[in-house]
Amino acid sequence: MKTYEQVAALWQLQCEDGEAKRAEALSKFAVPFAYNSCRIENECVTFPCTQEIFASDSVSAYTGDLRTLFEIHNAKQAHGLLLDSLQARRPLDEALVPEFHRVLTQNTYDTRRLQRGERPGAYKRHAYGVGKDTVGAPPEDVQEEMAELLAELDAAPDDQPLTAAAYFHAKFENIHPFADGNGRTGRLLLNYYLLLHSHPPIVIHEEDRDRYYDALAAWDTSQDLQPLIVFLQEQTGKTWLGMLQKADRFAEEVGAEKARALREELARERDRRQMQTWTTWRSGLADMSHRSPRRTSPSSISSSRPAAASTSATPPPRPKSRPLWTRWSASAGSGNRRRRPASRETCARPSRPGSTRTSQTGDPLANERQMLPGISPEIPGRTAFVSIRAPWAGSVSRRGSRSSLCGTR
């Protein structure tokens, strides 16, 4: 009964949405219900004819009997009464039951019943056959039986509307309170009770009439209500299967629409972040150009500076840098030449450059030449052979004259 539960839940949601949703669903329910309910007892009823009468209250190219047209027209009027009573929340009592019957059977009683005193909207005065093995309640007990049935229905719990409606319908058809139209009246009252309790109404389809009669017979013979409950649940799913499929399609469309909207939102967010990053980068560049000094050409710098005095001296030329290997050579006549140091054992600390100590001969480097045995005092700039111990080697190597390698200046 999964389908029945889904339909019941969907109907609850429609009731919560408001009266407009329920009225729209009931307007689509009216024609199928009227057609099937009338056709169960009258094979002359057709669906196109029912549609025409509900749409325009007229019919074209009809060749059937007049009573069939009255039954369909009365079904339309009874549907209007159901909507009005439902809006007014009228209880299902002894005043409403005969009123529904009167609207449904007006101008449909045959001559025999009318001659026996039977009238639409009044309980029966004579016994009439019901089903195969029963004739219903005796006419004198109908009033009491109906009062008892309506009292039981009023005391039924609200959480089991389908069970209460099935009980009411089975016992109503067993009592058979009217001379004619009990089936149509009972099915309309069944749906009115269900609608009062926010349950979807049911179309008992004419092609399932045999199962419908068997379910009523189970109650008549053994008071077994379960077959009728199961049958009504199946008919509920069958009635609103189209609504359920439409809801599924709507859910799929809504899901696809939500997915598309989510993709568009993600794309907009990505574009927004890219634009924000680009704007931040541009603003950073603008700040940097504003803070950094403006670059000028050399010509503009020279033109902006004041002219130098004509009497200023020309700056001396920059000294040329000697090659690295020539810095170890001792230049003749140089006061601060650089010499290759001898070993720590044989070399004494020379005087500081710029020292004012001079020898008696007037040579400012005489003292240094005397203190450095590796320097020949006779030949300035010539270096005698000395022992140089490499820091990573333990042996003594002999080096030749540096002047022979680098030359003298």
Q: How far apart are the first and last CA of the chain?
A: 117
Instruction: List, in sequence order, the alpha helices (H) in 89-239.
Output: 96-105, 111-115, 142-154, 161-175, 182-196, 209-222, 226-239
CA distance 340 to 400: 12
Do the domain assignments include residue 191?
yes
131: left (phi over 0), alpha (psi -120 to 50) or beta: left
Do the domain assignments include residue 352?
no
* Closest CA relative to residue 192, chosen from 95, 84, 94: 84
What pLDDT was estimated at residue 92?
95
Q: How confident is the model over 209-256, as pLDDT tens digits?
A: 999 999 999 999 999 999 999 999 999 999 988 766 665 565 565 556
Q: Which residues lie below 8 Å from residue 97, measured CB to CB, with a gap of 6+? A: 146, 150, 177, 185, 189
- DSSP, res 134: B
* Closest CA relative to residue 71, chosen from 55, 54, 56, 83: 54
Do the domain assignments include residue 361?
no
What are φ and ψ of residue 357, in 5° steps? -70, 135
What pLDDT was estimated at residue 328?
46
Do the domain assignments include residue 353?
no
- Domain end: 177, 209, 239, which one? 239
- Domain end: 183, 218, 239, which one? 239
Q: How distant is the alpha carbon of residue 58 from its chain centre? A: 49
Classify each residue of 21-30 as buried b or exposed e, where b means 16 or more C-beta atoms within 10 Å of its C-beta: ebeebbeebb
Do the domain assignments include residue 304?
no
Residues of the chain with pLDDT under 70: 1, 17, 130-135, 243-260, 262-263, 266, 270, 281, 284-409
**What type of residue is 253?**
E
Specify the 3-state DSSP secondary structure of 388: strand
Token readout for 155 is 């005391």
For the chain, the farthest-separated pair of C-alpha atoms sits apart, in whole angstroms, at 176
The count of domains in the chain is: 2
What pLDDT was estimated at residue 393?
46
Q: What is the dihedral of CA 237, 239, 245, 251, to 10 degrees?
A: -80
* Closest CA relative to residue 233, chosen from 161, 301, 303, 294: 161
* Closest CA relative to residue 94, chosen from 70, 123, 61: 123
**What type of residue is 106?**
Q
What pLDDT was estimated at residue 285?
66
What pLDDT was estimated at residue 272?
74
What pLDDT was estimated at residue 260?
67
Q: Which residues are bridge partners to 383 per DSSP?
A: 375
| E strand residue ranges, 336-390 | 387-389
Q: Which residues lie below 8 Å from residue 407, measured CB to CB, with a gap of 6+? A: 329
Domain extent for 379: 373-409
Do the domain assignments include residue 335?
no
Domain at 13, CATH number: 1.10.3290.10
Q: How confident is the model over 173-215, as pLDDT tens digits?
A: 999 999 999 999 999 999 999 999 999 999 999 999 999 999 9
- DSSP, res 179: S
In this structure, the chain runs to a length of 409
What pLDDT was estimated at residue 293?
53
pTM, rounded to two decimals: 0.61
Q: What is the dihedral of CA 30, 35, 37, 41, to 10 degrees?
A: 160
CA distance 361 to 378: 14
Do the domain assignments include residue 151?
yes
Do the domain assignments include residue 315?
no
- Domain end: 193, 223, 239, which one? 239
Q: Which residues lie below 8 Å from residue 168, measured CB to CB, with a gap of 6+? A: 149, 153, 189, 190, 193
CA distance 81 to 195: 13
